[in-house]
Amino acid sequence: MNLEIIDDLIATGKDFSFRTNSYHSQYGSAYSRASDSLLSWIATVEDFIMNNYGEESSPFKLYQTFERNKLNGFEQDEFDKQITILIGALKACKSIPFRKKNIS
């Protein structure tokens, strides 16, 4: 079941793109602007990793390299890099045993 949760979080994360989380300036340049849905997903990812793996785990340490501020006002390469970090942290969870029991 926990692997299903991770797979669902990864699939959801892959749905977030620069195209749907950006705006165009008056000069035609595109810059990132995180949607409410993206921010909600990020909070869910953080909660999942922290509660199931702990703050000392490799997935959480990778999560901590995520720079939330780069989701607003930056170009596509920075946006994509941040999403990649989050998906990478989730993928790391798939190969590491849970440290805490999932309370449901």
* CB-based contact 70:78 (threshold 8 Å): yes
pLDDT of 100 above 90: no
Q: Do residues 84 and 65 touch, judged by C-beta distance below 8 A?
A: no
Domains of the chain, residue spans? 2-16+32-93
Angle at 85 between CA 84 and CA 88, to 5 degrees: 80
Q: Please tell me whether residue 21 adopts helix, strand or coil conformation.
A: coil
Give the pLDDT band of residue 1 (cuts 50, 70, 90). Answer: low
Distance separating alpha carbons of residues 57 and 78, to the nearest angstrom: 25
pLDDT the model gives residue 50: 96
Residues 11-67 have pLDDT tens digits of: 999 999 999 999 999 999 999 999 999 999 999 999 999 999 999 999 999 999 999
Handedness of CA 85, 88, 90, 95 (dihedral sign): negative
Q: What is the mean pLDDT of residues 67-96?
A: 97
Q: Which pTM does this prediction carry?
A: 0.90
- At 54-66, the pLDDT tens digits run 999 999 999 999 9
**Cα(95)–Cα(91) distance, rounded to whole angstroms?**
7
Q: How confident is the model at residue 102 (pLDDT cuts 50, 70, 90)?
A: very low
- Retrieve residue 18's tokens: 């620069």
